[in-house]
Structure 1
Amino acid sequence: MKFRGILPLLFTVIGLASACKNKTSTTDSNPPKADRTEMDIVVADTVKPVPVESPVSDTSNESSSKVLDSIDFKKYQTEAPVSSGKAAIDWQSYPEAKTFKTRITEGYKNEAVDFAGHYVSVVFGCGAGCVLGFMVDVRDGKIYALPLGEENSCFFMEDAALMVPDSRLFISAVCKEAAESEKRYYKAYLWDEEQKSFGKIAESEFVKP
Structure 2
Amino acid sequence: MKMTKLINCLFLGILGTTYACNNVTQSNKEAVEVGPSDNAAKAIIVTPTASSPSDELPKEKPEEILVEYQDSVDFQRYNVDAKKVTERAPIDWTSYPEAKDFKTRITEAYQTNEADFAGYYVMSVFGCGASCIMGFMIDIRDGKIYDLPLGEENSCLFAEDRAMGNRKSRLFIAGVCKENPEDRKVYYKAYVWDEIKKEFEKVEAAAFLKKT
Q: State the TM-score, normalizing by the size of structure 1.
A: 0.68
Q: In the TM superposition, what whole-angstrom CA distance separates every residue of 1:127-164 from its partner, at most 9, and x where no partner exists?
A: 11100000000000000000000000111111110011
**Is 2:100 the partner of 1:98?**
yes
- Structure 1 residue 95: Cα displacement: 0.5
Q: Is the 8 A contact 2:190 2:203 kept in 1?
A: yes
In the alignment, which residue of structure 1 is the partner of 2:135? 133
In the alignment, which residue of structure 1 is the partner of 2:114? 112
- Structure 1 residue 172: Cα displacement: 0.4
In the alignment, which residue of structure 1 is the partner of 2:79? 77
Q: Is the 8 A contact 1:192 1:199 kept in 2?
A: yes
- Structure 1 residue 83: Cα displacement: 6.1
Q: Distance in 1 between matches of 2:84 and 2:133?
A: 26
Q: State the TM-score, normalizing by the size of structure 2.
A: 0.67
Aligned residues: 148
Q: Is the 8 A contact 1:114 1:120 kept in 2?
A: yes
Specify which of 105, 122, 125 is matched with residue 124 of structure 2.
Answer: 122
Q: Is the 8 A contact 1:115 1:163 kept in 2?
A: yes
Change over 3 Å in CA distance of 1:208–1:104 after alignment to 2? same
Q: Distance in 2 between matches of 1:124 and 1:74?
A: 26
Q: Which of the two has higher C-alpha Rg? A: 2
Specify which of 165, 168, 171 is matched with residue 167 of structure 2.
Answer: 165
In the alignment, which residue of structure 2 is the partner of 1:202? 204
Show the 5 A alignment for 1:160-199.
160-199=162-201
Change over 3 Å in CA distance of 1:97–1:145 after alignment to 2? same
In the alignment, which residue of structure 2 is the partner of 1:21? none
| Letter of the structure 2 residue corresponding to residue 98 of structure 1 | K
**Is 2:67 the partner of 1:68?**
no
Q: Is the 8 A contact 1:81 1:116 kept in 2?
A: no
State the superposition RMSD in angstroms.
Answer: 1.4
Specify every segment of 5 or more residues in structure 1 that has no aligned partner in the other structure, as ranges.
1-58
Identical positions, percent: 57
Q: Distance in 1 between matches of 2:183 and 2:83?
A: 36
Specify every segment of 5 or more residues in structure 2 that has no aligned partner in the other structure, as ranges.
1-63
Q: Distance in 2 between matches of 1:155 and 1:84?
A: 41
